[in-house]
Amino acid sequence: MAAVKLPRPSTAFASVASVLMVGTVMAGMFAAKTKAERIESVKNFEIGHERLTGWKAVPHGPQTLFLYRDPQTKLLLRGAVNQVVSEFNPTPELKTEELAQFFIDRTVENQPDWKATKLESVEAKGTSFRMIRREKKDKCVVTAVAVRGNTTLLVSLSGNAKELKDIDRTMPAFKGFLAAVSMTEKDLSHL
């Protein structure tokens, strides 16, 4: 009977050990990335903003972060923030781009007399906004969406019938306002 030649144990062991080591390192890198992403996804952020020059504060409800009106054009600038304090992110799939698309999809689906368009992004301090424009015959709303961690910020510029022409003229100031918005991590260690 002919002898079967097996690889030397040290060679076979070295091959298996190499594969296991590479697999372990890759798994560790994946776990570290996943943990870092999870930690980032549950953070909350303080919102900083400054009023546009000449715009006046308007009384608003508890769901509104700020509400300003331009005395000349009567356009409204509204901000609203939603934050979840939790050890997990209940909607990790709704990041900035996905939430903007959600707005467009729901507009098309539920408001047939409205037109919805995705506009460019605006970089801000600690976040990025994606703008969408929704309009119909006598109303226009440009909404900027920013999602970071468990904080969602919506800022909208809106006008009715006779103010529609002012929306486009106000867009540079609106983009400047967005660029100056800041999101800084909120300390929740006391909770």
Instruction: Note the pLDDT of residue 10.
Output: 54
Best CATH choice for the domain 45-185 from the list 3.50.50.60, 3.40.1000.10, 3.40.920.10, 3.90.180.10: 3.40.1000.10
- Residue 156 pLDDT: 97
> What is the band of 30 on the pLDDT scale with cuts at 50, 70, 90?
very low
Cα-based distances in Å from 78 to 41, 47, 48:
25, 13, 14
Residue 191 has pLDDT above 70, yes or no: no
CA distances from 174 to 35, 66, 122, 140 (A): 36, 14, 10, 14
pLDDT value of residue 117: 96
Angle at 143 between CA 140 and CA 147, to 5 degrees: 170
* Mean pLDDT for the stretch of residues 173-180: 96
pLDDT confidence bin for 2, thresholds 50/70/90? low
Distance CA 150, CA 166 (A): 34
